[in-house]
Amino acid sequence: MGRDDHKWQASAWQCSVFSELRTILLTGASSGIGAYCTRALKADGWRVFATARKEKDIAVLRAEGVEAFYLDYREPESIAALVTAVLERTGGRLDALYNNGAHAQAGAVEDLPVEALREQFEANVFGWHDLTRRIIPVMRAQGHGRLVHCSSILGMMPARFRGAYCASKYAVEGLMLSLRQELVDSGVHVSLIEPGPVVSDIHRNGMSWFLKHVDYAGSVHKAGYRKQLEQLRAGAGHSSMQANPDVVYRALRHALLSRRPRPHYVVTVPAKAGVLLRRLLPASLLYRVLARNV
């Protein structure tokens, strides 16, 4: 365990409210980071309201004692119904919101139809904004709250064939950091967690979006696509470079419980290395280095 981990935990232990039952709404709980954080929060004594899109995933969560609900960020009516249902169960209060659910649209920018970007932003930006706006008045009225968003290192630096996903995460960064400034002195805090590679199914789940929107066989980038598809099918999505979701949970726990939550939590070694390179290298050299990393 590193020095930062001890520091995060110490801050959390010093927070007396941790002994109280806390409520959190967490999205994208069917797998990966969301599933891990849902179970870890519940084990730590939180009352967790978790969401998923598929009925079978909702059933699994409920079988484990989690209060689970349907949510698709692309459907405003499901966002409204979710908020109503959760607030009915809490008496109109909520301590924390963790926006985590998302999908990753792969493909070179020149191969992406506008509709692909629309769907990416509906799920990864507009839906997050809608849900967050519905929760802010609740937190303002009670005088406290934590709004945490699972961004990505790709919200801080670009990557080949990830333009749509990068754009959505850059948008989240700008939107929610502006919100953080606007909520100063309200008792409501905003934090962004920026993971690098973490064990999850996001890239595998994104395959359907790639096949839906990208004519990869007719693209000038077909060789690069073929290489990535082969890596994915070979199980490269679980390489040694990927961290366990616990690294995200430690950051989330600090963002939820610290008296002074950070605006940014960069987690995983590759993400921290990327931030360091961005500081040290001239932009032209940095982007040449990134362009070779396919």
Tokens, residue 20: 């109280």
Closest Cα to residue 261, out of 197, 200, 184?
184
Q: What is the pLDDT of residue 203?
A: 76
Select which of 165, 170, 216, 249 is catalytic: 165
pTM for this entry = 0.90
**Alpha-carbon span 248 to 120, nearest angstrom:** 23
At 103 the pLDDT is: 93
Q: Looking at residue 240, what is its pLDDT?
A: 61
> So what's the pLDDT on residue 235?
55
| Known catalytic residue at 165 | yes
CA–CA distance from 118 to each of 11, 112, 163, 168, 193 (Å)? 40, 10, 13, 10, 24
Residue 204 pLDDT: 78
Task: State the pLDDT at residue 208.
Answer: 87
Q: What is the pLDDT of residue 16?
A: 39
What is the block-wise mean pLDDT of the chain (294 residues), using blocks of 10 residues? 47 43 94 96 97 97 97 97 98 98 95 97 98 98 98 95 97 98 97 93 84 93 88 60 92 97 96 94 92 72
Tally Cβ neighbours within 10 Å of residue 170.
18
Bridge pairing between strands 47-52 and 23-26:
parallel
What does the DSSP assignment read for 140-192? HHHT-EEEEEE--GGGTS--TTBHHHHHHHHHHHHHHHHHHHHTTTTTEEEEE
